[in-house]
């Protein structure tokens, strides 16, 4: 599909998710009709890619993102200095690069350890490795639709416990990388949340069903840890099938906008060079299932 509003064109880049938006420059002064086209494309394609947005600085990124919703402050990580809302992912501070990013960033939907899950993210490539450092997104609606009927019926009734408690740093062998990840982990978990979410939620904008899983899931309600891991693995495998994904090779100045409650994503940790991306997240939504039952905070400490 190609659609035109002024010079805007929407070019799909994978069969089930993802489109590149061409012909516009993002800014807080973007034409309202163009913004409508962007929002419509976001609901259809889940992830939108904008190249050549080098004119954006931190302030302009924040100003544009606010057009999509109220800025969402991360529950535990402070914003980047001299900004209002930016969450910076700097590989040197995270101990990033080969062998670490893939460990510390499993497939996930952002911030599902609290009941009010962020709706949209606007991510800007600031410093990009010459090779590697791609990001992959997955369509959690097409994953649900591919489930066998009996598995859909089971998933519709399931609840899972999500938490920001983690011990992934223990799997790293490099002492320097482990130290950096441990520092980040302490900040990330300085307040620990546990939240109950439906495994299948109904998207508030489209009415479609989506699997709500990812790396923050600790256990499925009513099942043992062993049973939970097996069931989780089966359901998660539908999300990460290659047919349900799109992979983006970054260049500096790229901007990606995605529907957080319609996707999972995975940053590929196959690079040795310095990598910096900056994210502004906006909007929030308490997921509900088909019975209109909402997510619930279980504990905070």
Whole-prediction pTM? 0.90
pLDDT given at position 2 = 41
The pLDDT of residue 112 is 97
The mean pLDDT of the chain is 89
3, part of any domain: no
Look at residue 73 in the predicted model and tell me its pLDDT: 87
The 10s digit of each residue's pLDDT in 49-84 is 999 999 999 999 999 999 999 999 888 888 888 889
pLDDT tens digits for range 244-290: 999 999 999 999 999 999 999 999 999 999 999 999 999 999 999 99
Q: Is it the case that residue 129 has pLDDT exceeding 80? A: yes
Q: Does residue 184 lie within any of the structural domains?
A: yes
How many domains are there within the chain? 1
What span, in angstroms and rounded, lies between the C-alpha atoms of 72 and 75? 9
**In the structure encoding, which two tokens stand for residue 288, read together?**
């509900």
Q: Which long-range contacts (CB under 8 A, 24 or more apart) does 288-293 make?
A: 288/198, 288/201, 288/202, 288/204, 289/156, 289/198, 289/200, 289/201, 289/202, 290/156, 290/200, 290/202, 290/209, 293/198
Quote helix, strand, coil % in the chain, to nearest 5: 30, 30, 45
- Four-CA torsion 234, 197, 71, 267, nearest 10 degrees: -20
Closest Cα partner for 20 from 43, 38, 34?
A: 38
Quick check: is 2 in a domain? no
Structural domain boundaries, residue 137:
9-300
**H/E element holding 90?**
strand 87-90
Question: 175: pLDDT confidence band, cut at 50, 70 and 90?
Answer: low
Q: Distance from CA of residue 245 to its chain's centroid?
A: 13
- Report the CATH number that the domain containing residue 13 is assigned in CATH: 3.60.130.10
pLDDT (0 to 100) of residue 93: 75
222 in any annotated domain: yes
Tell me if 1 is assigned to some domain: no
Token reading at 156: 């519709």
- Neighbouring C-beta atoms of residue 253, cutoff 10 Å: 16
pLDDT in tens, 204-247: 999 999 999 999 999 999 999 999 999 999 999 999 999 999 99
Establish if 290 belongs to a structural domain: yes
In a domain, residue 4? The reply is no
């Amino acid at each position: 599909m190609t659609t035109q509003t002024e010079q805007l064109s929407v070019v799909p880049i994978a069969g089930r998710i993802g489109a590149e938006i061409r012909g516009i420059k993002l800014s807080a002064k973007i034409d309202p009709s163009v913004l409508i086209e962007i929002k419509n494309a976001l609901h259809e394609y889940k992830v939108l890619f904008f190249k050549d947005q080098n004119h954006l600085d931190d302030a302009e990124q924040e100003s544009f993102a606010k057009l999509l919703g109220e800025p969402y402050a991360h529950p535990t990580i402070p914003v980047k200095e001299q900004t209002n809302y930016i969450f910076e992912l700097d590989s040197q501070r995270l101990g990033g690069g080969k062998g670490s990013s893939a460990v510390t960033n499993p497939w996930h939907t952002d911030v599902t350890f609290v009941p009010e899950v962020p709706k949209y993210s606007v991510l800007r490539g600031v410093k990009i490795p010459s090779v590697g450092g791609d990001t992959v997104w997955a369509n959690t609606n097409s994953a649900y639709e591919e489930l066998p009927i009996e598995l859909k019926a089971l998933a519709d009734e399931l609840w899972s416990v999500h938490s920001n408690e983690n011990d992934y740093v223990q799997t790293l062998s490099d002492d320097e990388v482990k130290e950096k990840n441990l520092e980040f982990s302490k900040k990330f978990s300085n307040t620990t949340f546990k939240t109950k979410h439906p495994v299948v939620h109904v998207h508030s904008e489209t009415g479609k069903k989506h699997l709500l899983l990812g790396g923050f899931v600790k256990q499925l309600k009513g099942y043992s840890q062993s049973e939970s891991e097996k069931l989780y693995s089966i359901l998660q495998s539908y999300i990460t099938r290659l047919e349900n994904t799109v992979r983006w090779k970054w260049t500096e100045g790229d901007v990606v906008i995605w529907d957080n409650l319609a996707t999972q994503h995975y940053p590929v940790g196959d690079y040795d060079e310095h990598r910096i991306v900056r994210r502004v997240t906006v909007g929030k939504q308490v997921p509900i299932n088909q019975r209109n039952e909402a997510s619930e905070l279980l504990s905070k400490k």
